[in-house]
Structures are given as structure tokens and as C-alpha cells.
Amino acid sequence: MKAIFNYCVGVVLTGCLFSACNTTTIRDDKELVIVLDQSDPLRLKPNADEIDSYLGLKQDLWQGIKVNVTFISDKDVNAEKVITLEKGNRLMGNAQMRTAQIAHFKKDLHTALGGMQTGGSLDHSIIYRAVAKQLNALSASEAINKSMVVYSDLMENADVSFYDPATVALLKTNPGAIQKQLEQNVPLRNLSGIHIWLLSDPGSFEENNTYMAVANMYKQLFESKGATVHIEKTLNL
């Protein structure tokens, strides 16, 4: 009788463990948000090969990845395209099948990036609200590595206007005042663990000076929330 009891307990425990394993959420290894500014012509555009390299699929075939491709425009609601690569089983997986899955993922990603139209010229640019919305969503992600790449000259023309010389002057002397004004509309959540890449290629000395003032203001704001910010021309690892 004791042996039967122990056997039954073992079956129940095994079943519970199996059930628990099946209900555990599988976390993505990486989640990447790519934001492209469609409100102004850009000299710098997403490079599919560069993004492939950043994701590191050659180094780790089995990682789970989610990429969200979206835009900045003169509207708050913009198109989004999500491309995913399901996490693979390193021990039990079939390498040949995994290679095919990765090829399909890359094809979808390259198609999405190729469809990101640039060169627009809109009267308004809702930059902060678009970026803040995506960052707040990313902050809630359970992915292990979270990052955002923003292709933009950062020339906001909505909540504030960086085309206004008085605003630019205030930005350079008191960036905190601009940060406070921006956050009145969309407060930022805790951004700890998120890497943010601000990528641009200013066309002149004057454009560079304004861009760097804006980019450094954003760097200060995002890093005060726990993010790590890179102001670059390429996705340097």
C-alpha cells in the first residue's frame, strides 16, 4: 500500500511539474524597435545588413527575437510591422530547419525595412510622443535585451518647435525646461535596461549644432529614466 501511495504521489508531482513547465512564458532574448522619421528628408536610412549584424544571429542561431518597425510623422498613430523569430531549442532543435527559419525572418525584416519610405516633408513632426509611446511599451517587455533605433533629425514641431530660435536657445541653456514640457504630454516610465540609438547625419555645421543640442537633451532625459543612449551615425556594437 505504501509503495502504491508513493507511486501516486510521484505521478501527481510529475504532472504538476510538467504543467508548470508548459505554462511558463518563454521570454524573447531580444526586442528591437526601429523608428523612422517620415516627416523630413533623411540622409541616413535603415541598413538591413547592419541591423542583421546588431541582432547577432550568426553568433546565436537559437535566440528569440521580436522587431517592431514603425514611424514618426505628423500623426500620433502610425503604421507598425512586427517581425518575430521564435526562440529555438538549442539542445533538441534541428540546425537545418533553424537556418531556414532564420532566412525567412531575415527576408521579412528586409522587406519591412525596404518598405520604410523616406524623403517626406510634413508641416509638423510629432517626434517625442512617437518615441515615448514606443519606449513605454518597450519598458513593459519581458525580453532580456531591449533596444530602440531612431532614424531622425529630431526636429520636433508639435509640443515644442525646434525651428523656433527662442526654443533652441532655451534648449541650449536650460534643457530641463524643454524636458519638463515634453513629459507633460507623455510621461516616461522606468527605462532601465533599454539601449537607445539616436542615428542621424546632419548636412551642415549649423544643422549639426542644433541636432547635437536636441540629441543631448534627449540623452539626458532618457538616461535619467535608466536607459543607455548612444548618439551615433551607425549601429556600433
Q: What per-residue confidence (pLDDT) applies to 194?
A: 98
Above pLDDT 70, what percent of the chain? Answer: 87
pLDDT at 89: 86
Output phi, psi for 121, to 5 deg: -145, 95
Q: What are 28-72's pLDDT values in tens digits?
A: 899 999 999 998 888 888 888 899 999 999 899 999 999 999 999
Nearest to 122 by CA among 46, 41, 43, 200: 41
In this prediction, residues 139-157 reach a mean pLDDT of 96
DSSP string, 5-22: HHHHHHHHHHHHHHHHHH
Helix or strand holding residue 145 (H, E): strand 145-151
Above 60 in pLDDT, residue 27? yes
Q: What are phi and psi of 220, to 5 degrees?
A: -65, -45
Query: If you average pLDDT over residues 102-122, what whole number do you get?
Result: 85
pLDDT on residue 134: 97
Task: Calculate ∠ Cα 77-78-79, nearest 5°.
Answer: 135
pLDDT value of residue 14: 43
Report how far residue 113's alpha carbon sits from residue 34's, in angstroms, rounded to the nearest whole number.
Answer: 9
End-to-end CA distance of the chain: 63
Amino acid at 233: K
pLDDT at 118: 65
Is residue 42 a contact partner of residue 119, using CB atoms and an 8 Å limit? yes
More confident position, 93 or 131: 131
CB-CB neighbours of 223 under 10 Å: 13
Q: Whole-model pTM?
A: 0.86
